[in-house]
Amino acid sequence: MPKRRKKVAYALTGLAVAAAGTVAAGMYVTRPTAAAPPVVPIGQEAIDLVLPFDRYWLSTFDIHTVESAEDILIRDCLQRDGMDWPLLPSPDRQAEQPPNRRRYGVIEPGLAANYGYHLPPPDPITEKRETGWSERRKLPAEVRIAAYGKEGGAGCWKKAHDHLLRNTAPYDAQKYNKYVGEAFDAARRDPQVVTGIRAWSACMKRAGFAYPDPFKAAGDKEWAKTPRPLPRELATATADVRCKQETDLVGIWARVDTRIQQNLIREHESDFRQLAEAKARWLEAARQTLPENAGPLPSPRESIGGTGRTPT
């Protein structure tokens, strides 16, 4: 069975780069495994952080929608050979995450005070979906191979994926990633952002924390040594957010990002129009699949030339 990140589509390779809010996500340590403090609501700071590129990418809810549509098609495909396929929980907008929540590091006071740079526990809806993906690793090998092929990206999943894309070209995540990387790098070099980061760094130094930029603070290797944030991490993250507010770093950075992204959209109008159209058609096909069972798809046995046996 393919790894968790292969579940939606191989067309979405490069999610860590493409998702604007996860440019620095690899610098954050994993979610705590010990007893966690109460769930902290998403801060207004993150909700209000909207950038021009956002409309061309798939949100958390969009990704769940595609996953669930493929799920229904996979189930129908497998059932023709008498195999069961447990469906993931239905998409729910309550599981939506702001696309730029960590684009500039931690920006929410509540999150910093409770989790520092550790990732908070998932909401109940997302946790149920993650549990569903984990449970699939326990399915019989015959079912997993029929669903995904031996190496992933094949079987009933491939048929489901192709079925949803039958009326559109695949979403070009590589093209989107290229523009995201270009825009992010350009913003980091912009004189206004450079000056803002210096001001933030000076503020942090006055508070007793020496970091050249927010990503170095978030990526401090000390934070990864414990499953729960220690007092110094919480203090560092709290100062980080406060210094961002005092220097208006997020506002400065977001305004520069907005200008750069708008310019790229104008300069490459055709590319972004294609991205928007492919996204819209893909999601529409997925939405049409969710309310009722999909039309018939070839079973895995029929797909391998009528040999009468499931791939092994």
For 115, 163, 208, 217, 218, the CA distances from 228, given in Å and listed in that order, are 8, 44, 22, 17, 14
- Is the pLDDT confidence value at 196 over 70? yes
- Is the pLDDT confidence value at 25 over 80? no
Contact by Cβ (8 Å): 1, 153: no
Which pLDDT value is given to residue 22?
A: 40
Contact by Cβ (8 Å): 73, 297: yes
Indicate the pLDDT class of residue 7, thresholds 50, 70 and 90.
very low
Indicate the pLDDT class of residue 291, thresholds 50, 70 and 90.
low
Q: For residue range 54-104, list pLDDT tens digits in order.
A: 999 999 899 999 999 999 999 999 999 899 999 998 888 888 889 999 999
Q: For residue range 127-142, list pLDDT tens digits in order.
A: 899 999 888 889 999 9
User: What is the mean pLDDT of the segment spanning 188-193?
Assistant: 98
Which pLDDT value is given to residue 37?
A: 62
- Is the pLDDT confidence value at 308 over 60? no
Token duo for residue 306: 């009528």
Buried-exposed string 282-310: b where 16+ CB fall within 10 A, e elsewhere: bbebbeebeeeebeebebbbebeeeeeeb
Rounded CA-CA distance 296/312 in Å is: 23
User: What is the mean pLDDT of the segment spanning 185-212?
Assistant: 98
- 238: nearest Cα among 199, 207, 211, 266: 207
- Is the pLDDT confidence value at 287 over 50? yes
Rg of the chain on CA atoms, in Å: 22
Indicate the pLDDT class of residue 4, thresholds 50, 70 and 90.
very low
Which pLDDT value is given to residue 87?
A: 92
Which pLDDT value is given to residue 151?
A: 79
Q: What is the mean pLDDT of the chain?
A: 84
First-residue to last-residue Cα distance in the chain: 12
Q: For residue range 37-59, list pLDDT tens digits in order.
A: 667 889 999 999 999 999 999 99
Indicate the pLDDT class of residue 30, thresholds 50, 70 and 90.
low
- Is the pLDDT confidence value at 302 over 60? no
User: What is the mean pLDDT of the segment spanning 3-24?
Assistant: 39
Q: For residue range 236-284, list pLDDT tens digits in order.
A: 999 999 999 999 999 999 999 999 999 999 999 999 999 999 999 999 9
